[in-house]
Amino acid sequence: MQSIHSVTKQDIASAIADIAPARYRVDQIFEGLYKHFFQDWNEFSNLPARLIEFLSKNYSISSLKLKKTISSENGRTQKYLLQLSDNALIETVLIKNVDRNTICISTQVGCAVGCAFCATGAAGFSRNINASEIIDQVSFIANLLAKEEKNITNIVLMGMGEPFLNYEQTIKAVSIFNHPEMFDIGARRITISTIGIPDKIRQFAEIGKQYNLAISLHAPNDSIRKELIPIARNISIDEILESTNYYIEKTKRRITYEYVLIQGINDSNVHALELAALLRKQKCHINLIALNKNDHYPENPPDITVIHDFIQILLDAGIPTTLRDSQGAGIQAGCGQLSGQYKK
């Protein structure tokens, strides 16, 4: 069955022309989908029964079933374990702040990249998620927020999976998030995070949109990166930087580099100096993340003084640097942790 989120107003108007020719019916459908974010056709109380019957037989609204929800102590972070139609499990996280509501969504069931410290990679790869399943995550969270008279302000494709290994479906979903008649979320409020697939970074640059791009770097040199990220054995940091330079040139946008700090692995002052030398000439921002402890990876995050020294070296080199607040660390909000616990 086709997802209703994959069709335009013109598509719907043509499909229902014989049943409900009045143009305002299409507007009512889209208001229910993209203002109230209804999850079931029976919620469309302003539509005639015959039209609801037709829509329910021909279009699905959601492929998701909520299996579990966990919340942080301060209530700012919620993690949702969602089951797809084939019983596969994915995770979606909502992070609430004073001026924004950010959701982190998945693009694959599991992940084939296999980063050493990542719980998703430890679980292995099952399949790509199609565009409608990516979209359904956003619609699901938007529905919850609408009941509080709140909206999604930012979308980050940084959940389970590698978006650029599911490129076509990812970009299809992102275009619907950005579409003015659909979710209407500004391009600069949408971020795609990738481990660094050079040909896809170049392809992404050609889209001509102001989407944000984040690169999961995690090491200042290829030697350490190969230990942490198996795919780095085939893709060097120099290749990634060549593609990100192309992206910056084409889009005039700044790159964000994600860097997980791991005690004794990539957190020394020498590593910070090496990272600064690597990136100081590029238009970029570094987002540091203290390792989120999980059962399958024995290492620890650095002490806070080590983190501060690392940050200061980067700032002294003139590179904008921030330390991410790991709001979900206490609720297994690191990618793959909740689904892993559920399967156990």
The pLDDT tens digits of the residues spanning 219-275 come to 999 999 999 999 999 999 999 999 999 999 999 999 999 999 999 999 999 999 999
Domain spans of the chain? 2-60, 65-343
Residue written as token pair 């139609």: 85
Positions in the chain short of pLDDT 50: 329, 331, 333, 340-344
Choose among 87, 84, 81, 86: nearest CA to 67.
Answer: 81
Residue 287's pLDDT is what? 97
Determine how many CB atoms are found less than 10 A away from the CB of residue 342.
Answer: 14
Residue 242's pLDDT is what? 97
Fold of 65-343: TIM Barrel (3.20.20)
- Displacement of CA 229 from its chain's centroid (Å): 19
The C-alpha atoms of residue 222 and residue 235 are separated, in whole angstroms, by: 9
Residues 300-305: contacts with CB under 8 Å, at least 24 apart: 300/262, 300/263, 301/261, 301/262, 301/263, 302/261, 302/262, 302/263, 302/267, 303/263
Token pair of 208 as six digits: 């001509």
Residue 312's pLDDT is what? 98
Domain made up of 2-60: CATH architecture = Orthogonal Bundle (1.10)
Instruction: Give per-residue pLDDT as tens, 61-76.
Output: 999 999 999 999 888 9
Output the CA–CA distances (angstroms, integers) from residue 275 to 72, 223, 271, in the order listed.
33, 13, 6
Residue 335's pLDDT is what? 54
Contact 154, 191 (CB under 8 A): yes
Residue 326's pLDDT is what? 61
Token pair of 54 as six digits: 């037709």
Q: Which residues form the catalytic set?
A: 91, 335
Residue 331's pLDDT is what? 47
